[in-house]
Amino acid sequence: MIISVASGKGGTGKTTVATNLALALGEQVELLDCDVEEPNADLFLKPLISRTEKVETPIPLVDGEKCTGCGKCAEICRFNAITVVGKKVLVFPELCHSCGGCMLVCPEGAISETGRELGTISFGHRNGIGFINGRLRVGEAMSPPLIRKVRAAADPNLVTIIDAPPGTSCPVIAAMNGADFILMVTEPTPFGLHDLRLAVEAVRVLNIPCGLVINRADIGDLQVFAYAESERVPILMTIPFDRRIAEIYSRSQVLVEEIPEWRRQFFDLYGRIEAFTKSWRRTKQCAN
């Protein structure tokens, strides 16, 4: 089971929900912090980090002796990451998307693989909960390859909970693609709703079932609730705008450990996600 916690809008409580859900399940669960530009789930989970690895993405290395300057590598590259002027081949590592096309088409076998550092992946655990996070190198523009590496490191036998980045573009898609369920965290404000709509549209394209957690549920207006009903996105949990909850958060503590009632709430949330995902799969099978 892979649950990706997303939102569209930033600051709605994705990390709060992801970490509390992981801790409520307690074991057989792994939390992946895929918000690699600003990974901070570790501040709440407080895992023991056992190792950190540097992660690279392949980029071309041209052997000037073998290269004849034919330009086939430049022709295939849609990102202009490699070009040929005169007999000189120029590589622009930061533009390379690591497709490997240039290496395949080079008739001279003059292009081999070297690496560009994307960032680091850290592995840790806390009380039987596995933890993996990615941290993008400052100056690196492409986060999806790192997000995919974090996801590839996950143990498929465990429940995977992904803390996704905000937004609706490539990094979020990389954090949602292939998930069994998308848990959208939003707030009932026009801003929350605006970005939620975009995120739900993205999820629909991916054809993954999704449900809502409405955080700070008693502020703002009722538009998010109306939207959820009209779009048939189930509201699986609401978290009130509560001083005690805010204080717990502000000390980077977690709800399920400070207020035992919330452990049950998050445990039940998982139950609802499981039930909804099963019925969605059944419906899909019938449709097929």
Partner 1 sequence: MKIAVTATGTQLESAVDPRFGRARYILIIDPDTMDFEAVDNSGNVNAFKGAGIGAATMVSKKGAEVLLTGYCGPKAFLTLEASGIKVVNDISGTVMDAVTAFRDGRVTYATGANKDAHW
- Please report, as ranges, the residues that interact with partner 1 according to CB under 8 A: 74, 78-81, 83-86, 88, 90, 92, 95, 141
| Smallest separation (angstroms) from partner 1 to the CB of 97 | 9
| Smallest separation (angstroms) from partner 1 to the CB of 94 | 8
Task: Give, in degrees to the nearest 5, the angle at Cα 154 between 2 and 285.
Answer: 30
Among candidate residues 148, 143, 142, the one with its CA nearest the CA of residue 95: 142
**Which residues are within 8 A (CB) of 174 and not within 5 positions of it... i.e. 6 or more apart?**
34, 143, 144, 147, 148, 151
Which of residues 75 and 257 has its CB atom nearest to partner 1 in the complex? 75
Which of residues 106 and 213 has its CB atom nearest to partner 1 in the complex? 106
Residue with tokens 């705008």: 241
Which of residues 92 and 128 has its CB atom nearest to partner 1 in the complex? 92
Which of residues 24 and 73 has its CB atom nearest to partner 1 in the complex? 73
Tokens at 141, concatenated:
């523009």
Question: Residue 81 carries which side chain, given as an amino acid letter?
Answer: A
Residue with tokens 């709060």: 16
| Smallest separation (angstroms) from partner 1 to the CB of 117 | 18
Tokens at 70, concatenated:
């034919």
Which of residues 86 and 156 has its CB atom nearest to partner 1 in the complex? 86
Residue with tokens 């071309």: 60
Output DSSP code: residue 70: -
| Smallest separation (angstroms) from partner 1 to the CB of 20 | 35
Among candidate residues 42, 51, 61, 1, the one with its CA nearest the CA of residue 129: 42
> Rounded to the nearest 5°, which phi and psi values hold at 181?
-155, 140
| Smallest separation (angstroms) from partner 1 to the CB of 168 | 18
| Smallest separation (angstroms) from partner 1 to the CB of 63 | 17
Which of residues 79 and 226 has its CB atom nearest to partner 1 in the complex? 79
Rg of the chain over CA atoms, in angstroms? Answer: 22
**SS3 state at 222:** coil
| Smallest separation (angstroms) from partner 1 to the CB of 233 | 33
Contact of 87 with 110, CB cutoff 8 Å: no
d(CA 273, CA 1): 10
Dihedral sign (CA 38, 130, 47, 123): negative
| Smallest separation (angstroms) from partner 1 to the CB of 71 | 8
